[in-house]
Structure formats: C-alpha cells, structure tokens
Amino acid sequence: MASLRPAPSRAASADPASAAATVVPVAANASPSPRAGLAEGLNASSAAPGQAQKTPQRRVRVARAGATDLAPAAPRKAAPADGASDALPPFPPDSLAASLWLAARAVAAVLEGRSLDVGLACLKAPPAAARPAAQDAAYGALRRFAWGDLILARLLSTPLKAIEVRALLLVALYRLETRPEAAHTVVNQAVVAAAELAGGAFRGLVNGVLRNYLRQRESLLAAAAADPEAASQHPRWWLEKLQRAYPREWQAIVAAGNTQPPMCLRVNRRLAGRDAYAAELAEAGIEARPVGVDGLLLAHPQAVESLPGFATGRVSVQDAGAQRAAQILDPAPGARVLDVCAAPGGKSAHLLERADLDLLALDIDAARLRRVDATLARLGLQAATRVADGSVPVRAGAAGSWWDGRPFDAILVDAPCSASGVVRRHPDAKWLRRIGDVRALLGVQAAILDAVWPLLRPGGKLLYATCSVFPEENGAQIDAFLHRHADAGRELEERLLPLAEHDGFYYALVRKTV
C-alpha cells in the first residue's frame, strides 16, 4: 500500500498487557465457535470503554512516496465515550489508519445485520482519497469473513462484543494476509485506528491479537484450510446447494464468488458508438475490449469520474450479464413496457437506450426509486416511475391503483432473489442470508409473476430475470409458473454462471398465447 501513509500513533506503542487476559494462544485441539451467521449474536452493545486521554504533541514518522520524514502530529479530539464515530475519519485521508477505520465502520454495519450498501454509506463523507482503500478492505474482509471469524475464535478467549473493534480486527487480518510485507505498518495503524473506536479501550487487545496472529500464522492458516467454510469463504448450506445443483461446476462457482468482480461499461448508443468510445478510452489510457452488443469490459476497474462522458450520460457501469436483459426482451419501438422491481434502473435505462418506449418503472422502495430517476436523468432518458409493490394484484380504477387499465406489450420482472450469482459484488449476502430466506423469496417471486401476468396483452412477452444461480429461484420457478398459467409458453431460457467477464444470471422469456 505505497499510496497509504501511516497516521500518527496515539502512543509510542500499545500496551499488550491490556489484552493478555483476552488473547489466547492456539491450542492443538481448539475449535472455533460455530458461525450461525452475522445477524445472530452480534448485536450486543460495545463494552464500556475507559476515559480517553488527550494526545500530546509528538514527532512521528510519516511515510511518503520515496521518502521517510519526521513531522509533528497535531493533537486530535478524543473519541466520544460512547464509542460513536465522527462522520469523517480523524486521520489524514491518505493514511492506512483512515482506510482501516472506515472499513471497520462499514463491516460493523454488516455484523449488526445491515447490508454492505448501508455500511459503505459512511464512505461518502470522507475525502475521495480515503474511499478506494477503505472500500477494498471492507469488501475483502467480508469475502473472507469465515476465514477471519475462525482466526478470531482461536485468538480470543471470549467473543468480542465491541462490534466496531471486532470489525477492525477482521479488516486488519485481511490486510495482513494480503499485504504481508507491510505487517508491522498494518499492526501499528490498526492500533492507531483502534484508539478512535470505543474510547480507545481496545488498543492493547488489537495489538495483542494481531501480533499473536503473526506469531501463530502457520498453524492458524492450517486450521482455516481444514474448515470447509473458512477454506471456501461460503456458508456450509450455500456450498451444499451448489454441490447438489452443479456437481461439476460448483467449485468454479465458489472460486468466482471469491474474486474481484469485473468492471463492464454499457455505451449509450443514443449518444456514442461503442467503437468510437473505446477509442476515447484508449486515448485516456484505459484498456477495454468489446463484450456483448453494447458492452466494453475494462482491463482494470476505474473511478467513474475518470470515464469520458460519464456525467453526461454517454456511458454507464453495468455487468455484461445484466445487459442481456434488454437484448432478450427487445421490445419494439413504441411498445408499452413495465419494469417491475426496477431500481437502481440500469435495465430500464438500457431498454430506453435501444428504443423509444412508453416505459413504467415500479419499485417498492421510494428511496431506491429515486435512484432510477437519477439514472434516467443522467442519461437523458424519460420514463414514468411509481412506488408500488409488484407482488400485490392490481385492478384498474381501484383506490390507490397504479395501473390505468391499458395492457403492456412487454414486462420485465427483475425479481428479488438470493443474489447468489453476484456474491462477489455483494459479499455480505452469503453471510446475511439464511436458507429460510431463499424459501421466502420463492414466494415473493411467484407472487410478482402471478400479479403482473394479467397485465400483459395476448401475444405479449414477459422476461423473468434473477441474479441467482440457485435452480429453485430460476428454472423451477418458471416451471411452476407455467403449470399455473395455461396461456403461458416458454420461448427462451438462458443461464449464465459467474465467469471472469460476467456475473451469474438467469433469464426466461415467456409469451402469452393469443
């Protein structure tokens, strides 16, 4: 992490003795506590911290590119006694401590049962320099959660109830394993970050845990390699479902789920040609190659601000697999189209880029629907948007009805699902989900299909789409739907397993008989 410089330490060194009663060596027969899931047993409040002390003026080493200098460190405001964090990191934004601190806040939100999207919201306030490293650390720690959870279970004598400190340890363990050459700096900066969590009461514990990990690394890694969840980075029930459904491909699916996702662009054909835009990227030093009909797969992820014309709607970020939806549904110009569960709006936008349509975008979440409006505005596209629950049958003219009685020529059901095909983009999903959640989602998917089918005109077509690889959400769901509706016929079915250039998706095109 040459671009990250150490933040000033709160003290010359953390006191390892303060963690001695909690940090334990690895016993030969030690076994980690069972991982029942992130949302269970992790909502206890932080332990009561001690009183934070003022930081004296001191001289510390600040690592910059190509040089090591001595510089005075300015005093910082002590962390609140209740463990709450300020919106901005109390460190230089380009410091490793800042990225660890921010990543810990994002991971802590997931440990408390919230989504990573919610956790990453805290990364919007800090300067742009702090966000990339923090986001990378948060995603990495959650992709390897089972591994980190096992390590902590073996290094702590009792579960750590201070959620943000626990999250910091997970993030720091990830960073130690991916940046072993910077182990001393990572430990130091994790202790600095711990000084701003829970009143600084766990600095010694963080120092002790991380140093014990380094001393016992080989035996800990061997234990993790012998644990199916820690080795695969997937819950046991998830692995069993994949093994049953894909006896030949399950290992490749698991491996793909643990990788960095590809970054694919969708060129707005109304404003730019794909080849011409690819040439612009090349001039900007951004390597890309064509994929699909409108896509460009980047060799390396880029900040959207660096993409030519992104702000003016010439290009969007959308996985190549997700771009298949508009290509398969392919409504004729002037068609009346319904997009159910439309947020954040990428598929609606792609449909409108391809043809002039009378499109209505629905979503049950008003906040997420505003993202659809923002997406369409950036791209210079127009559509009607309504907050509505697509799983509830609707009748024209009824009180509160969003439907005007005119049938649709085409319907896109981008159904809520397990997200098992996009888990590398949403690593929190595999730890927050339960097998019972998948069963509940099956009912929601069926309800949406049944509710919107009467709104489709005879001869019209419905595209059912998920970002799942679990068969019961895909082909089995459509089989059941066809059994319930004699006027429905399957015209096309496409299954995409996650690969290097796209995520996992399922599509089924169904036509209503005349």
**Model pLDDT, residue 132:** 87
The Cα–Cα gap between 235 and 224 comes to: 14
Mean pLDDT for the stretch of residues 386-398: 92
Query: Which sequence spans correspond to the domains of the chain?
Result: 28-233, 262-318, 320-512
CATH of 28-233, one of 1.10.940.10, 1.10.1200.10, 1.10.3470.10, 2.60.40.420: 1.10.940.10
Question: Which tokens is 124 given?
Answer: 């919007």
Give yes or no for residue 86 having a pLDDT over 50. no
Tell me: is residue 292 an annotated ligand-binding position: no
Give yes or no for residue 99 having a pLDDT over 80. yes
Residue-wise over 19-32: b if at least 16 C-beta within 10 A, else e?
A: beebbbebeeeeeb
Mean pLDDT for the stretch of residues 37-52: 35
- Identical fold at 28-233 and 320-512? no
Label residue 38 by pLDDT band (50, 70, 90): low
Tell me: is residue 346 an annotated ligand-binding position: yes
The second-level CATH assignment, the architecture, of 262-318 is: 2-Layer Sandwich (3.30)
Q: What is the pTM of this model?
A: 0.82
Mean pLDDT for the stretch of residues 445-469: 98
Q: Is 161 exposed, middle or buried, given 0-12, 13-18 or 19+ CB atoms closer than 10 A?
A: middle
* Helix residue spans in 355-466 (DSSP H): 366-379, 429-432, 435-452
pLDDT digits (tens, 9 = 90+) for 153-209: 999 999 899 999 999 999 999 999 999 999 999 999 999 999 999 999 999 999 999
Tell me: is residue 159 an annotated ligand-binding position: no
**Model pLDDT, residue 126:** 74
Give yes or no for residue 412 having a pLDDT over 60. yes
The Cα–Cα gap between 150 and 505 comes to: 31
Give yes or no for residue 83 having a pLDDT over 80. no
Question: Which of 97, 119, 93, 118 is CA-nearest to residue 108?
Answer: 119
CATH 3.40.50.150 for the 320-512 domain, yes or no: yes
Catalytically annotated residue among 122, 264, 417, 467: 467
Tell me: is residue 97 an annotated ligand-binding position: no
Q: What are phi and psi of 60, to 5 degrees?
A: -135, 160
Question: Which tokens is 455 given?
Answer: 């709104």
Tell me: is residue 414 an annotated ligand-binding position: yes
Mean pLDDT for the stretch of residues 392-404: 89
Tell me: is residue 343 an annotated ligand-binding position: yes
Question: Which tokens is 322 given?
Answer: 């997700």
Contacts made by residues 387-392, CB under 8 angstroms, sequence distance 24+: 387/362, 387/363, 388/362, 388/363, 388/364, 389/364, 390/340, 390/341, 390/362, 390/364, 390/448, 390/451, 390/452, 391/444, 391/447, 391/448, 391/451, 392/447, 392/451
Tell me: is residue 498 an annotated ligand-binding position: no
Mean pLDDT for the stretch of residues 251-268: 96
**Model pLDDT, residue 67:** 26
DSSP secondary structure of 453-510: GGGEEEEEEEEEEES---GGGTHHHHHHHHHH-TTEEEEEEEEE---SS---EEEEEE
DSSP secondary structure of 106-171: HHHHHHTT--HHHHHGGGSSS-GGGHHHHHHHHHHHHHTHHHHHHHHHHHBSS----HHHHHHHHH
To the query of whether residue 467 is one of the catalytic residues in this protein, the response is yes
% of the chain residues with pLDDT over 90: 77
Tell me: is residue 512 an annotated ligand-binding position: no
